[in-house]
Structure 1
Amino acid sequence: MEFSSVLAGQAGAETAVDGGCGAAVCVSRVDVAGLSDAGLRGRLGVLGGAESQLEALKAQTMAELARRHETVGAKKVAREVLRSSPSQAHHDVKAAERLAGLAATSEALASGEVPADHARLIARASSEGPIDERELVEAAKTQTYDELTKTVKRQQHELSGDGGQSIHDRRKQKRSARLFQNGDTGLYVLNAEFDPIAGNHIAGVLADKERELWRAEDSRARRSPQQRAADALAELILHPEKGKAAGIALVLVADYDTALKELVNARLSDGTPLPAKELVKLAHEADIFPAVFNARTQDLWLGRRRRCASDAQRIALMVRDKACVGCGADANRSFAHHIKHWKNGGATDYPNLVTVCNDCHHDIHERHHQVEHDRRTGRRSVVPPPDAFPDSGTTTWQPKQLNPVLRN
């Protein structure tokens, strides 16, 4: 592989990396239009590896700048040379400083074995408490970003020494909110960060309000999901007298250890570990719906009695699926989809339901994606139809226009 002439001979560069195109990062130009699907996949893999290697070189350079001129100086250079925003320069320099102290992560990034986002995730975790770096690097080589996020959370909880309480306290300390007006559009932007417990609680309340607004809408003139979310948030803030929608606010999950006769492995519905102290505090709040139950004791088999999933079913699905099975989107903002469609006689029974977000729901109904169940692992997923992107010709099953609302 070779650098393109533009990349290899940048004006003003003192020397090429490692002395030229025998360099660490070289990618040739190709006509991608002539590649097969397999060729495009291979090409994307090469580019991904090159991106990782370039990110490693960038991090090394920024870390050295920070060593010589401190963090402030490195940020200034990043803003001037890369024309970065202040926030992006801050983000890049802090990540570079963290990576400088993580030899295994830096090595895996430089070799292209680990994507840049995975390396940053490990680096950020290292700043929050003790980690087993090599274990996380090995996981990062094979896991998706969402999977690695869960692995990091689980490891942080196990290594914290206090059941994850210190990690939770640090995250809570970093909470922030900012409301500002966008000068270009005149619209107001609300940007906020919450600890996992508060965030899950807010997401549940907001999702319930969105469903309440959806039920009250004219089916012929529905809002977009984004508009409905904005209206739901505005109503909760500006008209609290209308109250929260009656539904799931926050789902807590725990296992019962019959030998110890106590609850263990406390967590939120998405799998985020929960400190025991926080579980005790939350269990005493009236608007929390504890999800500590045996699924066999719940009425999770409704058959054809009703089309929409009950609260008990939604809780069971959140605990089982944790997120949209197609893309990992928040379960609070997802639908309970009938695997065998309701219109085809499908029952509103727990085994026939799966958690999917709005986009993946459309993929299933409009683009012929299928829900698959791996009985060995128990995991469910959404997969595209065969030959969704053929090497030649065009597909005939794609719709011209998507339906605005799906309920199956």
Structure 2
Amino acid sequence: METTFGTGGVCVAAADEAGLSDEGLRGRLGVIGRVECALVAMKAAVLGEIARREDAGCAERAVRDVLGASCRDARRDVKLGVQLRDLDVVRQTLSQGEMPVAHARLIARAAAEGPIDERVLVDAARLQSYERFARTVRRHQLDLSADDGKSLLDHQRDKRSGRMFTSPDNGMVVLSAEFDPIAGAQLASVISAKERELWRDEDPAARRTPQQRIADAIAELILQPDGKRSSGTSLLIVADYDVVQGELTRARLTDGTPIPIGELVKRACDADILPAVFREATGDMRLGRTRRTASAAQRAALVFRDQGCVGCGKSPNYCVAHHIIPWKVGGRTDLDNLVLVCNGCHHDIHDDGWTVHRNRATGRYELRPPAVASPRRRGPPGADIAEPPSRGDEATQYAA
């Protein structure tokens, strides 16, 4: 398998994938990923130059005419091309296949919203997963903001948008919208709470997919607005308490997204402010064998402690509370026996033998793969959960 990167282009030799070992297939995938990054950088350079010579509209038409792309994809590609013209370090790193495309888009978006240190973010992008890097970018933007992030939040609110259209692919009606982080977090909490309610009410022998439940939850919330509000829909805002100054600092959403202190003050009346030191005395953290599902207080504590999936870092809104020692073998519904995991990582635990461990150095929980990989079991997993699944791999349209 021969791969060549250089100023003249990128070349990847053909390979017989069926004859490669598991390690060889993973290596092949890595090579393909680097090549894809280099090609995206090349396309961005071409589109950026077309936009410079003419305008963005002409560049979008070129993408549609030459590549047969959709209007949405053309607009997205041209936007990246225009943004990368002023980001030399990002463009070079991407062309060398040393940064994922999604990470480059995050940096480009941040640069369009305010000041950034390009090299600092590029160095972080080489080492961090997408979810962790997204949080890094948000924190970086706030650190460089001169007004505690207020102008950034105002910019995001100005960029809010929504669309409703019939897909030409399958005739399905599509709802698409973008919100600022605070509005998005509120929506995510309401939708995921409704989905958990639907999960509890459905027949265990005929479960809907997570995506179907999300669609049904959104439809019910819109079509039946006067229905009873599901529990667990409060907007959770976490802040540290400065004992010396006697004030709250470092306000943030539960996924780590920083927010201006001014927003914390405005929302203090209708948000649950969790202290940075969440002691068991603040809520019922030990339910033992009296209840299999996590309580609202337990979930809030888990959200603060784990900040997302302990396996991949996905937002808490898309996570379930998993018993470390399974309920069916005597595990208790206590905070120290629960962790947050997303739907995919939950399947890794129950189907592929991944296990939960606590890192002694950091004190944080994490997932570890089995010593010997096992084939994924077919059919529905025998999941032992303290809450219903709250996301599927495609359920990202209302991410906070």
With normalisation by structure 2, the TM-score equals: 0.89
Q: Please give the alpha-carbon distance, in whole angstroms, between the structure 1 residues aligned to 2:77 and 2:23.
A: 34
Offset from partner CA, 1:136-181 (integer Å, 9 cap, x none): 0111111111121111000001111111111111111111222223
- Matching residue of 2:84: 99
Q: Please give the alpha-carbon distance, in whole angstroms, between the structure 2 residues aligned to 1:103 and 1:335.
A: 41
Query: Is 2:131 aligned against 1:146?
Result: yes
Q: CA deviation at 1:39?
A: 2.1
- Matching residue of 1:191: 176
Offset from partner CA, 1:280-336 (integer Å, 9 cap, x none): 111123xx3222363222331222232211111101111122222233333123211
- Matching residue of 2:378: 400
Check the 8 A contact 1:370/1:383 in 2, yes or no: yes
**Structure 2 counterpart of 1:371, one-letter code:** V
Q: Please give the alpha-carbon distance, in whole angstroms, between the structure 1 residues aligned to 2:75 and 2:195.
A: 36
CA RMSD of aligned residues (A): 2.1
Q: Please give the alpha-carbon distance, in whole angstroms, between the structure 1 residues aligned to 2:94 and 2:168.
A: 38
- Matching residue of 2:330: 345
Query: Alpha carbons of 1:2 and 1:320: their partners in 2 closer, same or farther (altered >3 Å)?
Result: same
Aligned pairs for 1:130-169 (under 5 A) are 130-169=115-154
Q: Please give the alpha-carbon distance, in whole angstroms, between the structure 2 residues aligned to 1:185 and 1:62.
A: 30
Q: Please give the alpha-carbon distance, in whole angstroms, between the structure 2 residues aligned to 1:306 and 1:124.
A: 45
SS of aligned partner of 2:346:
helix
Q: Please give the alpha-carbon distance, in whole angstroms, between the structure 1 residues aligned to 2:237 and 2:3.
A: 52
- Matching residue of 1:26: 11
Q: CA deviation at 1:123?
A: 1.1
Check the 8 A contact 1:164/1:274 in 2, yes or no: yes
**Structure 1 counterpart of 2:318, one-letter code:** R
Q: CA deviation at 1:243?
A: 2.2
Check the 8 A contact 2:322/2:384 in 1, yes or no: no
- Matching residue of 2:108: 123
Number of residue equivalences: 383
Match of 1:289 among 272, 280, 297: 272
Query: Is 2:258 aligned against 1:273?
Result: yes
Query: Alpha carbons of 1:186 and 1:86: their partners in 2 closer, same or farther (altered >3 Å)?
Result: closer
- Matching residue of 2:191: 206
Q: CA deviation at 1:406?
A: 4.4
Q: CA deviation at 1:403?
A: 4.0
| Unpaired runs of at least 5, structure 2 | 387-400
Offset from partner CA, 1:105-130 (integer Å, 9 cap, x none): 11211222212221121111100000
| Unpaired runs of at least 5, structure 1 | 5-16, 389-394
- Matching residue of 2:361: 376
Aligned pairs for 1:222-233 (under 5 A) are 222-233=207-218
Match of 1:303 among 276, 280, 288: 288
**Structure 1 counterpart of 2:68, one-letter code:** R
Q: CA deviation at 1:3?
A: 7.6
SS of aligned partner of 2:205:
coil
Query: Is 2:35 aligned against 1:35?
Result: no
> Percent identity between the aligned chains?
50
With normalisation by structure 1, the TM-score equals: 0.88
Which has the greater radius of gyration? 1
Query: Alpha carbons of 1:53 and 1:187: their partners in 2 closer, same or farther (altered >3 Å)?
Result: closer
Check the 8 A contact 2:326/2:384 in 1, yes or no: no
**Structure 1 counterpart of 2:336, one-letter code:** P
Q: Please give the alpha-carbon distance, in whole angstroms, between the structure 1 residues aligned to 2:195 and 2:105.
A: 34
Match of 1:261 among 215, 223, 246: 246
Aligned pairs for 1:244-255 (under 5 A) are 244-255=229-240
Offset from partner CA, 1:356-376 (integer Å, 9 cap, x none): 123322322233221232221
Q: CA deviation at 1:399?
A: 2.6
Q: Please give the alpha-carbon distance, in whole angstroms, between the structure 2 residues aligned to 1:137 and 1:335.
A: 32
Q: CA deviation at 1:43?
A: 2.0
- Matching residue of 1:392: none
Q: Please give the alpha-carbon distance, in whole angstroms, between the structure 2 residues aligned to 1:77 and 1:159.
A: 37
Check the 8 A contact 1:75/1:93 in 2, yes or no: yes
Name which of structure 1's ranges 44-53 and 289-298 shifts more when overlaid on structure 2. Answer: 289-298
